Amino acid sequence: MKKKSSLKDIAAYLGVSTTLVSYVINNKEKEAGVSKEMARKIRQAAKQLNYQPNLIAKSLKSGRTNTIGLVVADISNPFFSAIARIIEDEAGKYGYAAIFGSNDESAEKSATLINVLQSRQVDAFIIAAAEKSEEQIQGLQAANIPVVLIDRYFPSLDIDRVFIDNYQAAYKATQHLIRSGRTRVAMLAYDTGLYHMEERVKGYRDALRDHNLSFRKTWLRWIGYRQAKNEARQTMSDWLKPSVGIDAVLFATNTLAVESLKYIAASGVRVPERLAIIAFDESEAYDFFYSPVSSIRQPIEEMGKAAVRLVIERLGQPDKPTSAVGMDALLVLRESSDCSLMKKND
Amino acid sequence: MKKKSSLKDIAAYLGVSTTLVSYVINNKEKEAGVSKEMARKIRQAAKQLNYQPNLIAKSLKSGRTNTIGLVVADISNPFFSAIARIIEDEAGKYGYAAIFGSNDESAEKSATLINVLQSRQVDAFIIAAAEKSEEQIQGLQAANIPVVLIDRYFPSLDIDRVFIDNYQAAYKATQHLIRSGRTRVAMLAYDTGLYHMEERVKGYRDALRDHNLSFRKTWLRWIGYRQAKNEARQTMSDWLKPSVGIDAVLFATNTLAVESLKYIAASGVRVPERLAIIAFDESEAYDFFYSPVSSIRQPIEEMGKAAVRLVIERLGQPDKPTSAVGMDALLVLRESSDCSLMKKND
DNA sequence: CTGAAAGCGCTTACAG
DNA sequence: CTGAAAGCGCTTACAG
């Protein structure tokens, strides 16, 4: 039962003041003009007594915790856990740790989470924002707490952010499907007002329009986050009816795609011959689906690093102008959208 | 720039002492005998001034942070991110938050991580331990900090833990392969001294022995965590040579399996006809591999919940006897080990 | 070169 | 029913 020792313990042990100990422990001996000999003795005692600084006390004094609050939709979603890992590593380089939380795309949970993290005095936030969480985020800004949005953002908010050009990504993917001969291209999206989702849908619709494909209502389905599983299956089942005859689908996220791919595999519909597919994000499912899935790959590593960089910059310079870091997603073409394998007479 | 308000602000605003405010804010008005009217006024002022407690100050006073340090190998591994999510939710129910870190299966990183988390005064740890981290963990115990090991543990340490019966799981999987006619069953494992890995290998070897299959050295390959990708591919390539003729493989983890499955898919070897497969853990890859992969599924949810429960119990009763919570994994049989599809004349 | 003292935002035993 | 005061473990301006 080795007791933790405090500065006071070291001071008492050596019969000196805590002031001195503090200076040495924090390597401020030069500025404070602590004698070499004293510094040596203190360091030795610290080692001997197994001193570990109490960062809580330090934080109370300094007002900084060197902690970043990370808010994502669901840490068990590979997209977010990959980002979390990058952020963990990158923040660590600057001496910051991450406290994370999942909001399940719910504004209420997000509010609770942000409150908890704020009470814990995190120095800054990196947030993949939930729908309708603008006010919470503005609240943080009003309280002068740095916030960087990642993946999603609100165009109405003047705030640091890292994002991809979702419109372009969806447009290009749709265009690819159309140019290779698909004429009934559908899109499966989440029913959320979030800007990034709207941009993806807009890119899809504009691509249809620009290629003279008249859009039909049934081709675009918005489904709820909480019942995604059932609704994705239902949608696929509807779309694959001969009377509807969808011949290509753009999936707006990996979770939507994965659920649908399960249905597609089970239903026996041939990909890409009968149905071409392109999906956002990444998933091991994409690699292992019998027809490897073309995807819109976000530069996760760059995004995570940029988010941490923006946080650090903002902490150092609270009044600097907002940074909006846009990146391009990569359209990775594989077999699932290879329309040379198209079934002509269908 | 809404300033955060402190207890002192509320006290000053109302012209009362912080003592009173503290009692009310913490709902101790009854015990402290605060007047109804005063309590009402304080609550109102707290709301009005947008009071948010400073948990850091609270922690310094109380010596508790209501924080659990979660150490895993890699938060971006779906097995660990799934556990993290469970732990996050479950700990939240008890008012605890989680600070996480990845140790990349390295004892050095683990030591650094544990130090950082300890400096941050986490109340307890849940750790998926890295090889050779016994001493660090004993150090925590010596400092009287509750630790619960999850997934892996050290038989030499008397410590709370949650684990599955790895021996049984591997034994049964191997037995299944043998009973359905496979005679050259290999196993791919991580080259680590960790007990859970040794148990898995032991289960495999004992199953071979009990079914009178003489084990051959080449059938068991231990590969390094950091070069798993290359070594897994190399191993598969070796095993699939006609001269070696492995007809079944047990994979000791999901990452090992996923890398190997990529190679197998590319190489054109038929599963399960030519090669039967069973793999530990879960992965979307298992569902989408052309021959759905039989797996040894750990009860992740129960494990995560049990770990949090043990932590909470230990915090409440530091001297209670050690809890070792063992669970059974589930052998989920699918096509990849369906040996009725075995290629007889091979 | 070194130390006494104030203060970060809380809690709580104690006095009145 | 309410308040003054000490203290959690640090940091740092100030005095000597």
**What's the pLDDT tens digit per position in B185-235?**
999 999 999 999 999 999 999 999 999 998 899 999 999 999 999 999 999
Q: Are B187 and B204 in contact (CB under 8 A)?
A: yes
pLDDT, tens only, B49-79: 989 999 999 999 999 999 999 999 999 999 9
Question: What is the per-residue pLDDT for A1?
Answer: 40
Question: Is A173 exposed, middle or buried, given 0-12, 13-18 or 19+ CB atoms closer than 10 A?
Answer: buried
Q: Which letter does DSSP use for residue A331 in this model?
A: E
Are the Cβ atoms of B1 and A143 closer than 8 angstroms?
yes
Residue closest to sugar C1' of D11 by CA: A61
Going from the C-alpha of B181 to that of each of A92, B169, B219, B342, the distances in angstroms are: 51, 19, 17, 8
Chain A residues touching B290 at Cβ < 8 A: 288, 290
**Whole-number pLDDT of residue B1:** 40
Looking at beta carbons, which residues of chain A come within 8 Å of B119?
A: 52-55
Q: Which residue is nearest to nucleotide D5 (CA to C1')?
A: B19
pLDDT band at B3 (very low <50, low <70, confident <90, very high): low
Question: What is the structure's pLDDT at A343?
Answer: 53
Please report, for residues A125, A152, A305, the alpha-carbon distance to residue A325 in angstroms, rounded to integers and kept in the order given.
Answer: 16, 12, 11
Rounded Cα distance, A209 and A186, in Å: 13
Closest CA in chain A for residue B72: A85
Q: What is the pLDDT of residue A30?
A: 87
Q: What is the pLDDT of residue B346?
A: 41
User: Is B266 touching A (CB cutoff 8 A)?
Assistant: no
Cβ(A339)–Cβ(A183) below 8 Å: no
Query: Which nucleotide is nearest to B11 if distance is taken from CA to C1'?
Result: D3
Per-residue pLDDT tens, chain A, 346 aa: give them: 456 789 999 999 999 999 999 999 999 988 888 889 999 999 999 999 989 999 999 999 999 999 999 999 999 999 999 999 999 999 999 999 999 999 999 999 999 999 999 999 999 999 999 999 999 999 999 888 999 999 999 999 999 999 999 999 999 999 999 998 999 999 999 999 999 999 999 999 999 999 999 889 999 999 999 999 999 999 999 999 999 999 999 999 999 999 999 999 999 999 999 999 999 999 999 999 999 999 999 999 999 999 999 999 999 999 999 999 999 999 999 999 987 765 544 4
pLDDT above 70: residue B334: yes
| Strand D CB-contacts below 7 Å | A 6-8, 18-19, 22-23, 25-26, 28, 51-54, 57-58, 60-62; B 15-20, 32-38, 57, 60-61, 63
The rounded mean pLDDT for chain B is 93
pLDDT at site A2: 53
- Is A174 an 8 Å CB contact of chain B? no
| Two tokens, residue A239 | 């779309």
Looking at the complex, does the CB of residue B96 fall below 8 Å from at least one CB of chain A? Answer: no
φ, ψ of residue A68 to 5 degrees: the values are -110, 130
Give the predicted TM-score (pTM) of the model. Answer: 0.93
Is residue B304 within 8 A of residue B83, CB to CB? The reply is yes
Do residues B98 and B84 touch, judged by C-beta distance below 8 A? yes
Collect contacts of A266-270 with beta carbons under 8 A, ≥24 apart: A267/A236, A267/A237, A267/A240, A269/A240, A270/A343
HEC secondary structure over chain B: CCCCECHHHHHHHHCCCHHHHHHHHCCCHHHHCCCHHHHHHHHHHHHHCCECCCHHHHHHHHCCCCEEEEEECCCCCHHHHHHHHHHHHHHHHCCCEEEEEECCCCHHHHHHHHHHHHHCCCCEEEECCCCCCHHHHHHHHHCCCCEEEECCCCCCCCCEEEEECHHHHHHHHHHHHHHCCCCCEEEEEECCCCHHHHHHHHHHHHHHHHCCCCCCHHHEEEECCCCHHHHHHHHHHHHCCCCCCCCEEEECCHHHHHHHHHHHHHHCCCCCCCCEEEEECCCHHHHHCCCCCEEEECCHHHHHHHHHHHHHHHHHCCCCCCCEEEECCEEECCHHHCHHHCCCCC
Given a cut of 80, whether residue B30 has pLDDT beyond it is yes
